[in-house]
């Protein structure tokens, strides 16, 4: 008897369209698409050349960011002292790592050269 009571208390809050939808779903249960998957496309072999950015690091502590040159030789400079927040954001972004010849500049700095 509790089973009928549960159904009654559940169904009484449903709108008629919801009840008919549940009945329709039970009768006309959707079937999965069992057709074969379409074939894979052939890969497009186009040469990809990333856009080379100009270096923003001019020296061990000199940067050109947003067409404004600045130095970063003291810890206070990393906090953006005297610079706009956007300039400081670009400094912290390290976009120079994506610039032209970034690897060569990094190798020179690690060998002691500037």
Which residue ranges make up each domain of the chain? 1-29, 62-110
**Average pLDDT over every residue of 92-106:** 75
Higher pLDDT, 72 or 104: 72
> In the structure encoding, which two tokens stand for residue 10, read together?
């559940």
Percent of the chain scoring above 70 in pLDDT: 84
> In the structure encoding, which two tokens stand for residue 51, read together?
């856009």
* DSSP code per residue over 70-81: EE--SHHHHTTT
Higher pLDDT, 114 or 85: 85
How does residue 48 score in pLDDT terms, banded at 50, 70 and 90? low
Query: From CA 47, how far away is CA 60, in angstroms rounded?
Result: 34
**Of the candidate ranges 3-17, 43-57, 76-90, the one whose mean pLDDT is the lowest:** 43-57
> In the structure encoding, which two tokens stand for residue 21, read together?
């939808």
User: Alpha carbon of 90 to those of 1, 24, 69: distances in Å?
Assistant: 71, 59, 12
**Average pLDDT over every residue of 21-42:** 90
pTM: 0.44
């Amino acid at each position: 008897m509790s089973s009928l009571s549960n159904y009654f208390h559940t169904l009484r809050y449903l709108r008629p369209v919801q009840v008919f939808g549940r009945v329709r779903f039970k009768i006309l249960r959707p079937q999965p698409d069992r057709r074969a998957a379409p074939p894979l496309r052939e890969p497009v072999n186009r040469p990809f050349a990333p856009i080379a950015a100009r270096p923003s690091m001019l020296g061990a502590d000199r940067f050109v960011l947003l067409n404004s040159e600045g130095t970063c030789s003291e810890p206070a400079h990393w906090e953006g002292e005297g610079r706009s927040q956007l300039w400081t954001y670009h400094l912290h972004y390290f976009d120079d790592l994506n610039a032209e010849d970034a690897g060569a500049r990094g190798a020179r700095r690690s060998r002691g050269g500037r």
